[in-house]
Amino acid sequence: MGKTFDRIGRKHAAFIAGQQIFFTASAGESGRVNVSPRGTGAFRVVDPGTVTYLDETGSGNETAAHLRLTGRLTIMFCSFGAEPMILRLYGQGRSLPLGSAEYQTMLKRAYGNEQPPGARQIVRLDVEMVLVSCGNGVPLFDFVAPRPALRQRAAEKGEAWLATYRRENNAVSIDGFPAGFGADELDMVG
């Protein structure tokens, strides 16, 4: 049985800062559960009750669709190094779409107004519980490097192409739930 905490403590934040990958899990009331891996370069502990990650344009947008439906989001970090630990953040999440006032405010606050090519949203999690467990069942792996392909493609294609891509590929989940990236939302940024 793991230990639970109401907020992110200093040791939790230090553990998070030392990881190279995290996983998000989200679901609607029905349909599929989505689990996605992400690099930690765009992850921020904003304060003990709030975390964000700057999400880039990808093949789907399940998390945003699920957040519109239920807001439920779990983020998991696990150590693949010598010190075993699994840390999960449970809470209510929201998508802050590219171009929105909330996005701009959080971009300034957590990212120094810096965003990578292909940014599409900032996902914010209001943390309700932190769960820490041993992680002894997680295998050991060595980190090599982040993959550059997603950002390279975004930089090469440009924002107009990305807006069209998001409209065509990120507007609904695989279960048909709207992700909030329809024509109206994208016209203001595309």
User: Tell me, what amino acid is at 99?
Assistant: G
What per-residue confidence (pLDDT) applies to 26? 97
The pLDDT of residue 188? 39
Q: How confident is the model at residue 182 (pLDDT cuts 50, 70, 90)?
A: low
Asked if residues 13 and 127 have their Cβ atoms less than 8 Å apart, the reply is no
Where helices occur in the chain by DSSP H, the ranges are 10-17, 62-69, 101-111, 149-157, 159-169, 183-187
Q: Side chain identity at 184, as an amino acid letter?
A: D
Which of residues 183 and 17 earns the better pLDDT score?
A: 17
For the segment 74-78, the average pLDDT, to the nearest whole number, is 98
72 pLDDT band (50/70/90 cuts)? Answer: very high
| Domains of the chain and any CATH numbers | 3-135+146-187 (2.30.110.10)
Q: What are the pLDDT digits (tens) for 151-173?
A: 999 999 999 999 899 989 889 99
Ramachandran area for residue 50 (φ above 0: left; ψ -120 to 50: alpha; else beta): beta
